[in-house]
Amino acid sequence: SNGELTPWFQAKVDMRTGSIIGAEALVRWNHPTRGLLMPGSFIPLFERNGLVTSIDLHVFEEVCKALRSWQLRNLPTHIISCNFSQLHFDRKDFPQQLAEIAARYDVPHALLEVEITESAIMKNPEAAWMQIIQLKQMGFKTAIDDFGTGYSSLGLVQMLNTDVIKVDRSFVQRDLPGQRAQVVLGNIIRMALELDMAVICEGVETAEQAAILMRLGCFKAQGFFYAKPEPERDFEARLALQPF
Ligand code: C2E
Ligand code: CA
Ligand code: CA
């Protein structure tokens, strides 16, 4: 209510051209006395006391506001993804809540992506499955976040037809030059593409990692090598620099 929580935006890029293909909204807390706080330092607390759902919806609303203002100012609009806690999936009206917020700002659902971590899905796979189907029917994009960190990743993709798989950054950062790492990652990428899911690798920090990923058939990335999370204004400046 004090406006201290705001989304920052981290661009997602096509590694072949470096052009922006979307962004992820990542919450930041501009604390009046403690300065800028990262989500790792407060999200776990709000997960425990349940307030995280209000935070997620607030971030989502701020994202809708931003998309609306980019549309009005003729800036290019890309799909923006938001993170949602597992707690939303116990609420049957979650997709409806998102639709109401999007309608307030006249934002097409196709520009909004719901990221759910693999571990959140596993807490209640049935509920997540139903919600994802409904979100998709309503035209929202869906993504499995931190893919590969849970214990049933393969069973999960068989069951859940999300638009996007976000490969966890541990796959990119843990020994990617290694032969075994490349075989595993290459097969995850091929599997996703054959299932008609887009695949994006998180945590790309070096040109070498990018080159290997492209050789393995993945062309979408999110990582410090291309862009760090940045305040809306800086992200807007980045958008304005893009060739149309
Ligand atoms: P996540 O969803 O996996 O988000 C990606 C995190 O990786 C971000 O950390 C981002 O800054 C960081 N990252 C991106 N590229 C790189 C890279 O190349 N190298 C490294 N080392 N890190 C990179 P951040 O912003 O601190 O967010 C941490 C986590 O907090 C997120 O992980 C997400 O799980 C959670 N989170 C963020 N915003 C929200 C939110 O609005 N709601 C909820 N429920 N969770 C959120
Ligand atoms: Ca995420
Ligand atoms: Ca992630």
What single string gives the DSSP state of each residue in the chain?
A: --S-EEEEEEEEEETTT--EEEEEEEEEEEETTTEEE-GGGTHHHHHHHSTHHHHHHHHHHHHHHHHHHHHHTT----EEEEE--GGGGG-TTHHHHHHHHHHHTT--GGGEEEEEEHHHHHHSHHHHHHHHHHHHHTT-EEEEEEETSSS-HHHHHHH---SEEEE-HHHHHSSTTSHHHHHHHHHHHHHHHHTT-EEEEE---SHHHHHHHHHTT--EEESTTT---B-HHHHHHHHHHS--
61 touches ligand 1 (CB under 6 Å): no
Q: Whose CA is nearest to atom 35 of ligand 1?
A: 39
Ligand 1 centre from 56 Cα, in Å? 13
Q: What residues have their beta carbon closer than 5 A to ion ligand 2?
A: 83, 115, 145
Candidates 41, 83, 165: which one to mutate for ligand 1, based on the most atoms within 8 Å of Cβ? 83
- Is any ligand 1 atom within 6 A of the Cβ of residue 6? no
81 C-alpha vs ligand 1 centroid, how far in Å? 12
Confidence of residue 152 (pLDDT cuts 50, 70, 90): confident
Record the tokens describing residue 102, joined without a space: 């999007």
What pLDDT is stored for residue 156 in this prediction?
85
Q: What pLDDT was estimated at residue 244?
A: 59
Reported as half-sphere exposure (CB side, CA atoms, 13 A), residue 83 has a value of: 22
Q: Output the pLDDT for position 97.
A: 98
Among 15-19, 32-36, 124-128, 212-216, whose mean pLDDT is lowest?
A: 124-128
Cα(164) to ligand 3 centroid in Å equals 12
Q: Quick one: what percent of the chain has pLDDT higher than 90?
A: 86
Mean pLDDT estimate for the chain: 95
Question: If pLDDT is split at 50, 70 and 90, which confidence band does 159 have?
Answer: confident
Question: Tens digits of per-residue pLDDT, 121-132?
Answer: 988 888 999 999
Name which of 200, 195, 197, 206 is nearest 220 in CA terms: 200
Does residue 146's CB lie within 6 angstroms of at least one atom of ligand 1?
Answer: yes
Please report which confidence band the pLDDT of residue 3 belongs to, taking 50, 70 and 90 as the band edges: very high
Q: Which ligand is nearest to the CA of 7?
A: 1
Pocket test residue of 12, 15, 26 for ligand 1, highest count of atoms within 8 A of CB: 26
Q: Is the pLDDT of residue 146 over 80?
A: yes
More confident residue, 175 or 66: 66
**Any idea which ligand is nearest the CA of 143?**
2
Which atom of ligand 1 is found nearest the CA of 224? 18
Closest CA to 114 of 133, 1, 103: 133
H or E element, residue 21? strand 20-31
Average pLDDT on 114-120 reads 93
pLDDT tens readout for residues 188-242? 999 999 999 999 999 999 999 999 999 999 999 999 999 999 999 999 999 988 8
Confidence at residue 90, expressed as pLDDT on a 0 to 100 scale: 87
